[in-house]
Amino acid sequence: MIAIEFKNNQKVLNAIGDETRQAILIALIQGPQNPGMRVGEIRVKTHLSRPTVSHHLKILKESQIISVRKKGTLNYYSLDSGSKLKLLKNLVNEIEKVFSQCEEQASE
């Protein structure tokens, strides 16, 4: 079961495992959710170049962690409300079960 959860979360784990993407996620979490943040705003908050921000936003979007809303010619990025990050909860639950079993076996 735990192997399945790791497999289900592989894309998300790879996406959030990068420090640059973590900085972008933190900026998005701390920023306005409606309408979201534009690339320029994320760039200012993270001190990253525009191409770097765009590259990492693409990876986060492909991993279904963030979404983009278009308003005319403007793009607004925010956390995806149906985010794959929710799958991490299942993985953490499976890991907790394994730890509990290990603790029970150690106390016997």
Name the helix (H) or strand (E) containing 78. Answer: strand 74-79
- Give the whole-angstrom CA distance, residue 11 versus residue 76: 23
- Give the whole-angstrom CA distance, residue 65 versus residue 23: 14
- pTM for the whole structure: 0.82
* Per-residue confidence (pLDDT) for residue 55, from 0 to 100: 98
Q: Look at the chain and report how many structural domains it folds into.
A: 1
* Per-residue confidence (pLDDT) for residue 51, from 0 to 100: 98
Distance of CA 27 to the CA centre of its chain: 12
* Per-residue confidence (pLDDT) for residue 16, from 0 to 100: 93
What three-state secondary structure class fits 74? strand
pLDDT tens-place values along the chain, 108 residues long: 788 888 988 999 999 999 999 999 999 999 988 889 999 999 999 999 999 999 999 999 999 999 999 999 999 999 987 777 778 888 888 899 988 888 888 887
CATH code for position 27: 1.10.10.10
Pair 60, 78: CB distance under 8 Å? no
- Give the whole-angstrom CA distance, residue 17 versus residue 37: 22
Range of the domain at 98: 2-107
* Per-residue confidence (pLDDT) for residue 50, from 0 to 100: 97
Pair 21, 56: CB distance under 8 Å? yes
Pair 33, 79: CB distance under 8 Å? yes
